[in-house]
Amino acid sequence: MSSEDTLIEAPESVNSDRFVEVSYDDAIPNNVDLSSDRTLLRALESWHPGYLDWWQDMGPEGFQDADVYLRTAVGVDPAGWAKFGYVKMPEYRWGILLAPQVEGRTIPHGKHKGEPVWQEVPGEYRALLKRLIVVQADTEPASVEQQRYLGKTAPSLYDMRNLFQVNVEEGRHLWAMVYLLVKYFGKDGREESQALLERRSGQQDNPRILGAFNERTPDWLSFFMFTYFTDRDGKMQLAALAESGFDPLSRSCRFMLTEEAHHLFVGETGVGRTIEATCAAMNKAGITDPFDTERIRALGVVDLPLLQRKANFHMSVTRDLFGSEISSNAADAFSAGLKGRFNEAKLTGDDHQLQDATYKVQRVVDGELVWEDVPALRAINSRLLDDYIADCQGGIDRWNKAIEKAGIHFRFTQPHKGFNRKIGEFAGHAISPAGELLGAESWAALKDEWLPNGDDMAFIHSLMKPCHRAGEYASWIAPPRMGINQQPVDYEYVKID
Ligand code: BYC
């Protein structure tokens, strides 16, 4: 099991002298010299109370007074950027932290390739840039809202702490984007920042912008799948935005990626520990058939086919977050130099402008799945989605290795890209995990084998009993190999009373 997910490396030309100390004396900790810009400071200070009200209303329910063993960013130097200690979540020091400026950085892609990066918003791209920042920002509070009830059914204090860590850092990511909106987009930016506190995940009248962020996260398996699969969309999108020619956005996203790695780790190990508990219980009971559902469930663990169905749901919903595979919005953002491909600056083999290049995209044409060469510029989303699918495989392979080691014949797989899609090329088509186009009747008859069904959800619900004493772990999840920050696994990570 990986200890942390792979990070985007800091560009080599970062000069370590340029790591700016984070000031924690200010009400809003920052490394952007906020105190020297009174107007900006006032605008952020006036947003702050609304943020705290939102956190009280929509943040982790029932644990606002608990002391939580949290890490707080104290700098952006990769060697020592965080400190650990007990904090009540509403008192968490949400700060504004940008990765250091890279000397001489140039725009890596698009029409302006090779020109110096922008330190101010390029006027002609203002609306497009603002939209990207608002969409990114909107996902952060959305995920906190989706996860707000999970503390109550945490399978251990260790897991509860990890949930809250993820939540406060998503809150900080909102701060990171609001800083950009308020500093660089004037009145519009202030209005957008306010609207970010008003939309609500799943609310009919004023929902969050992207589909997956309006889904429920009703149980801990959903949380682990979300942090493995959906936070990984966060990794890919942040990495693409880290390539932006608008340097403040690039620097914000680079630091956000540092925090994101832990969220992915929570997802991978959460699913991994669930698998470990299942395999151990099956072996102890002498059950070899992973589809012997009734007997496996009677042991108080999650059968592997159910986990696959959960994964299928989260993978498909998350793939929708990449937008349409063929998109003129994405082409515009790339050509403008606002959003690149994954690891854009390091990619070799093309001119980073893609005027004549093509990319293979799978589509449904006349009732058949076909591959077509489409202009690479218009296939930017498709390529990022392909990179994402490849990136998902590492953890899946590690889960499979653990199952194999336990001697159980079962393998997790990724469903076909078109499975259960609502956005893009495959929307409106019924496609099986194996990649067959189906009629509506076959889909209706088979979908309960591929997506969590009513029995699955009822069973998961029955497992979601709190384990809130230090060192206790629910039956369905193995304890972690190591605690947080070298603390033991039975450490009191959250002091509830
Ligand atoms: N649901 O040309 P299209 C994270 C809209 S996750 C609803 O297909 P485009 C995190 C789209 O907005 C990363 N609507 O796609 C993870 C557009 O509407 P407008 C979040 C959707 O524009 C876990 C229209 O359809 N960051 O950080 O190329 C926890 C046509 O758009 C959806 C970003 O996404 C959908 N799934 O791409 C916490 C990066 N998909 O504008 C955090 C910033 C598309 O015409 N965002 N639409 O009204 C972007 O780069 C792009 O907005 C997207 C969409 C990739 C999302």
Terminal Cα-to-Cα distance of the chain (whole angstroms)? 34
Q: Is 231 in the pocket of ligand 1 (CB under 6 A)?
A: yes
Q: Which residue has the tokens 């589509």?
A: 363
Residue 481, classed as helix, strand or coil, is coil
Label residue 294 exposed, middle or buried (CB < 10 Å: 0-12, 13-18, 19+): exposed
Ligand 1 mean position, distance from CA 232 (Å): 14
- The answer to whether the beta carbons of residues 403 and 275 sit under 8 Å apart is yes
* Dihedral, 342, 344, 347, 349 alpha carbons, nearest 10: 110
Instruction: Give the separation between CA 26 and CA 20, rounded to whole angstroms.
Output: 15
Q: Is 450 in the pocket of ligand 1 (CB under 6 A)?
A: no
What is the pLDDT, as a whole number, of residue 26? 74
- Crossing angle (nearest 10°) for helices 126-146 and 231-242: 160
What is the pLDDT, as a whole number, of residue 312? 98
Instruction: Give the separation between CA 13 and CA 102, rounded to whole angstroms.
Output: 6
What is the pLDDT, as a whole number, of residue 78? 72
Distance between alpha carbon 268 and the CA centroid of its chain, in Å?
12
Q: Is 233 in the pocket of ligand 1 (CB under 6 A)?
A: yes
Low-confidence ranges of the chain (pLDDT < 50): 1-19
What residues have CB less than 8 Å from 176, skipping those under 6 apart?
Answer: 96, 97, 252, 255, 256
Q: Is 243 in the pocket of ligand 1 (CB under 6 A)?
A: no
- Crossing angle (nearest 10°) for helices 247-285 and 157-184: 160
What is the pLDDT, as a whole number, of residue 452? 98
Label residue 58 exposed, middle or buried (CB < 10 Å: 0-12, 13-18, 19+): middle
- Crossing angle (nearest 10°) for helices 328-335 and 380-405: 100
What is the pLDDT, as a whole number, of residue 354? 97
Residue ID of nearest Cα to ligand 1 atom 21: 210
What is the pLDDT, as a whole number, of residue 21? 62
Whole-structure pTM value: 0.95
Residue ID of nearest Cα to ligand 1 atom 13: 234
For 472, how many CA atoms within 13 A lie in the half-sphere containing its CB? 11
Instruction: Give the separation between CA 445 and CA 267, rounded to whole angstroms.
Output: 31
Q: Is 135 in the pocket of ligand 1 (CB under 6 A)?
A: yes
